Amino acid sequence: MTPSAPKHVLLVDDEPAILQALVRMLRRGNSDGRWPQLRTEVFTDPAAALARAREQAFALAISDFRMPGLNGAQFLAGLRDCQPDCRRVILSAHADFEGLIDAINSARIALFLSKPWHEAELLSAVHEQLEAHRHQQEMELLAERQRLAQGELSPQEAERRRLERLEPGITQVRWSSDGAYVLDPVDVGAP
């Protein structure tokens, strides 16, 4: 991801009004110049958000804890599996002690913030997480360039890693038992 490329942020909460408030807050942070342009995607269904995360790289995910289906810790643990570099935050009014421990241990969340939130605190937290993501990416790119220069990494592997950062799963190929490439079914809804 180039420094000028927009950062992708994933918001997950089963309450649409909360998602709308978070989007408005992130827009204010963007217009205040706190961070570069953001592309925000919102989901009320954590399973749908996880499916999207298999297609799109995100710099930051902010999730509620108590949601139907998957709770925030389960969702963020799944996100961590497919996008380990994505920063993960829980924003919730409710979390039990065991749930918080699960979020920390399995999802490796960076922060737990409570609802109702203080806008300045949340804007600061988002800024810090986006900066941490940017710094982490820069360090990984420098390390890859060094390994490439020293011959420890092939040009093909460096390119594969670059493509995976841009589009998670793009280099994953599934083959059938007869050696054919397996395509995902296409959803052909009515126009």
Q: Helix or strand or coil: residue 45?
A: coil
Task: Tell me the average pLDDT of the chain.
Answer: 84
pLDDT score at 99: 67
Higher per-residue pLDDT: 5 or 135: 135
pLDDT score at 78: 94
Mention every residue, 6+ apart, whose C-beta is less than 8 A from residue 37: 6, 7, 30
Cβ burial, residue 152 (10 Å; 0-12/13-18/19+): exposed
User: For 133, left (φ over 0), alpha (ψ -120 to 50), or beta?
Assistant: alpha
User: pLDDT digits over 83-122, tens only?
Assistant: 999 999 998 887 666 767 767 777 788 888 888 898 989 9
Q: What total number of domains does the chain contain?
A: 1
Angle between helices 97-105 and 72-82 (to 10 degrees): 0
User: pLDDT digits over 147-190, tens only?
Assistant: 889 999 888 888 888 777 766 667 777 777 887 767 666 555 54
pLDDT score at 1: 40
Domain that holds residue 86: 1-191
The amino acid occupying position 176 is S
pLDDT score at 42: 97
Run of H or E including 146:
helix 119-149
Phi, psi of 62 (to 5 degrees): -120, 125
What distance in Å separates the CA atoms of residue 72 and residue 62, rounded to the nearest whole number? 9
* Residue 143 CB coordination number (10 Å): 11
Cα–Cα distances (Å) from 18 to 31, 50, 92, in that order, read 20, 19, 10
Which whole number is the average pLDDT over 68-86?
Answer: 91
Beta carbons of 36 and 4 less than 8 angstroms apart = yes
CATH code for the domain of 103 = 3.40.50.2300
